[in-house]
Amino acid sequence: MSVQYQGIRALRTLLDSRKASATELAQESLQLARASASLNAFTDIRDELTLAQAKAADARLASGEQSALLGIPMAHKDIFVTQGWASTAGSNMLKGYLSPFDAEVVDRLNKAGMVNVGKVNCDEFAMGSSNEKSAFGPCHNPWDTQAVPGGSSGGSAVAVASGVVPMATGTDTGGSIRQPASLCGITGIKPTYGSCSRYGMIAYASSLDQAGPMARTAEDCALVLNAMVGFDTKDSTSVERPRAGQEDFTGLLGQPLKNGDATQPLKGLRVGLPAEFFCDGLSADVRAPIDAALRQLEQLGATLVNISLPRTELSIPAYYVIAPAEASSNLSRFDGVRYGHRASDYTDLKSMYENSRSEGFGLEVQRRIMIGAYVLSHGYYDAYYLQAQKVRRLIAQDFQSAFTQCDVIAGPVSPTVAWNIGALNADPIQMYLADIYTLGASLAGLPGMSVPVGFGQGNRPVGMQLIGNYFQEGELLAVADHYQRHSDWHLRTPA
């Protein structure tokens, strides 16, 4: 059996039956990564490091150790620092940087025995919705190489969608796991803010950034999330809960929810449909497969409930004030003095700062730094940043009001299917608007995921978004899993 397009469960069977070794799986994944080089998904591949991890996994398997992820190949978004591999955040500012330590998420997956095939492309410092804003160049959608894969975790989505690895890490600040998962036809989940450690994750917006898995199925995401989630004393934004790191996100998979039974496992589950998600801005070719998926949930016993998230439109201006403000603060550390790019031509300290940052940062990052510095400046802080934070609180309250009427919220991830590379580069506002359905959950810190539900214009994938209340990832994954047991969109592969 080939590694390509196989899920974690199938590869686990291969390894446990000794029909393949971790080293053999890693070797094939490395070959697939190089064979798909035209997609520009991988930014750093180091065979010796990958095979060393695979050899260690084989030794653990030979000793009789059994675990869900041991020996499984994967890839890391280039926003996580990884010892040995270059960690650049897709930016020339960190070109060639080798971290002396692993991010906490990387360390947890290493301990689980996963084998890293390499680092994958992302929008620079995770700022973008298309994976075109990378110093390594744009990533290409495997369903149509003229199309963007979505961003910022585009490389992660492409590595999974093209079958190189069964799973890759991503980060979601305003939709950067859910949107590329939708545009590439895979499953991805952003857990509740604070669930996964941000230690060693190169920061964009500290109150929004959250790590999560991207894989072919909800089951695979659940298996990986088991290893990723947990309290970390090294991260001040990590949430300490009594059972943090002990949850089994696979526990509800395949089990009836609420009042469900074998024939209608979702009976009693209330699925909220926000009116603001199904208005004129949603293209018909995206709405049709989502409507079909909602009918499937009804057949499984779920009840569809009309709800409202009245401040949905305000999520865009609120996000694009708060996130750039935090970015301008986080990226001030890259000044050419301690690490990162330093300009070769400067006359004094001030010109070194200016030249190093102008050369090291791309235009989109510079744009967001300037916006952030402006809204935090004297005279504008109260008018913009403080007001945006108040709107953020109101958006979170809207979700809590909605959850009194429903258990799970469903809707589109993106207003359209993937657009062509370069199509929106001249109009950044239009690209920002592509995040309209994902930003609210990020601002509220809620868990959200994307599930493949069909195809739109040009045979480009469409994903349905599921949003749950705080720390309800298990329920979200169970709903997605029930849907995937009665559909095959997640099993489709690009030609």
Structural domain contains residue 238:
yes
Average pLDDT for 86-101 = 96
Alpha-carbon span 25 to 163, nearest angstrom: 12
Alpha-carbon span 273 to 79, nearest angstrom: 33
- DSSP secondary structure code for residue 378 in this structure: T
| Residue 249, C-beta contacts closer than 8 angstroms, at least 6 positions apart | 221, 222, 223, 225, 226, 229, 473, 474, 477
Comparing 38-52, 238-252, 253-267, which segment has the lowest mean pLDDT? 238-252
Q: Which of 425, 426, 418 is nearest to 450 (CA)?
A: 418
Structural domain contains residue 493:
no
Tens digits of residue pLDDT in 141-199: 999 999 999 999 999 999 999 999 999 999 999 999 999 999 999 999 999 999 999 99
Q: How far is CA 221 from the centre of its chain?
A: 11
Average pLDDT for 455-469 = 98
Structural domain contains residue 206:
yes
Q: What is the full DSSP assignment across 87-142?
A: --TT-GGGTT-B-SS--HHHHHHHHTT-EEEEEE--SGGG--SSS-S-TT----BT
Structural domain contains residue 421:
no
pLDDT at position 91: 98
Q: Which of 359, 320, 358 is nearest to 443 (CA)?
A: 320
| Mean pLDDT of the residues in the chain | 96
Tokens 């890293």 belong to residue: 116
In total, how many domains does the chain have? 1
Task: With a cut of 80, say whether residue 74 has pLDDT above it.
Answer: yes
Tens digits of residue pLDDT in 194-224: 999 999 999 999 999 999 999 999 999 999 9
Alpha carbon separation from 387 to 15, 313, 320, 392, 393 (Å, rounded): 54, 15, 12, 9, 10
Task: With a cut of 90, say whether residue 1 has pLDDT above it.
Answer: no
Tens digits of residue pLDDT in 380-434: 999 999 999 999 999 999 999 999 999 999 999 999 999 999 999 888 888 999 9
Alpha-carbon span 123 to 127, nearest angstrom: 6
Look up the CATH number of the domain holding residue 63. 3.90.1300.10
State both tokens at 55.
């050899």
Q: In which domain, by residue range, is 127 found?
A: 8-253
Q: Which of 452, 479, 482 is nearest to 292 (CA)?
A: 452
| Residue 243, C-beta contacts closer than 8 angstroms, at least 6 positions apart | none
Name beta bridge partners: 457: none
Task: With a cut of 80, say whether residue 246 has pLDDT above it.
Answer: no
Question: Quick one: pLDDT band at residue 2, thresholds 50, 70, 90?
Answer: confident
Alpha-carbon span 411 to 24, nearest angstrom: 40
State both tokens at 414.
């993106």
Q: Which residues are catalytic?
A: 77, 152, 176
Task: With a cut of 80, say whether residue 259 has pLDDT above it.
Answer: yes
Alpha carbon separation from 164 to 7, 83, 160, 303, 468 (Å, rounded): 11, 22, 6, 38, 30
Alpha-carbon span 159 to 29, nearest angstrom: 10
Please, is 487 exposed, middle or buried when counting C-beta atoms within 10 Å of its C-beta (0-12, 13-18, 19+)? middle
Average pLDDT for 65-85 = 97
Structural domain contains residue 123:
yes
pLDDT at position 379: 87
Alpha-carbon span 489 to 184, nearest angstrom: 11
Task: With a cut of 90, say whether residue 244 has pLDDT above it.
Answer: no
pLDDT at position 247: 82
Task: With a cut of 90, say whether residue 282 has pLDDT above it.
Answer: yes
Structural domain contains residue 387:
no
- Asked if residue 453 lies in contact with residue 293, where contact means CB atoms within 8 angstroms, the answer is yes
pLDDT at position 339: 84
Q: Is 0.75 topped by the overall pTM?
A: yes
Task: With a cut of 80, say whether residue 34 has pLDDT above it.
Answer: yes
Task: With a cut of 80, say whether residue 245 has pLDDT above it.
Answer: no
